[in-house]
Homo-oligomer: A and B are copies of this chain.
């Protein structure tokens, strides 16, 4: 039995955002049409190490493919071990005979497909003529979310990026600007300057208090809130909702 092994680096060099946006949109449609089995995640918790593990099996019936993703979240990894916060492995399985087809690093796929999901939300929910993007947070997700918006909207006029650490938002500009020849990516000192006037706002912080205030945003803006993924986390002033 032969199993394809793909490292994180190989995954990165094989994937393009355009392909991922297309694949994630297909998966969303299959799910909405009732052709996907995806039971709720199963958790293990490692309280003494401030971490957890999530097991995520799924089966796309019409596409005849199944997979299990195993993801760990260990927020103290970067500081304690110089390792990424998220560790992930994906096993692709042939539903016809249960044979593993591939075992691959799942960290980069996770980052890219979460970006793609935000892009697809914007594709259907944001204004078609969106040109200005405001990014709150300048980490991994701020990168893949912008790549996905770019894949869907083509060239954007202006991208404002804010982070609690101004060196992080400046690094973001240095890294991302070369890939966006037609767009202007600007690091801003005040959060308000990133979101005011934006057509699409993307928040990707671990904040536990509101960052984006209602008075700063205008009617018709689309907001992808990626960061507030657990009880106690919050990025928007409640009045926004």
Contact = CB atoms under 8 A, between A and B. Distances in A.
A6 B103 CA distance: 13
A66 interface: yes
A168 to B, nearest CB: 23
B49 A74 contact: no
Contact of A57 (B42, B97, B98): B42
A164 interface: no
Contacts of A72: 93, 97-99
A46 B99 CA distance: 13
A203 interface: no
Q: How many copies does the complex hold?
A: 2
Interface string A43-78: 111101101010101110100001010101110010
Chain A interface extent, by class: 35 or more
Contacts of A87: 97-100
A103 B45 CA distance: 21
A81 B95 CA distance: 13
B83 A97 contact: yes
Contacts of A89: 91, 100, 103
A99 B99 CA distance: 24
Most buried by B among A93, A98, A100: A98
A5 interface: yes
A97 to B, nearest CB: 5
Contacts of A42: 39, 42, 55, 57
A96 interface: yes
Interface in A77-122: 77, 80-81, 83, 86-87, 89, 91, 93, 95-100, 103
Contacts of A86: 98
Nearest to A56: B55
A214 interface: no
A167 interface: no
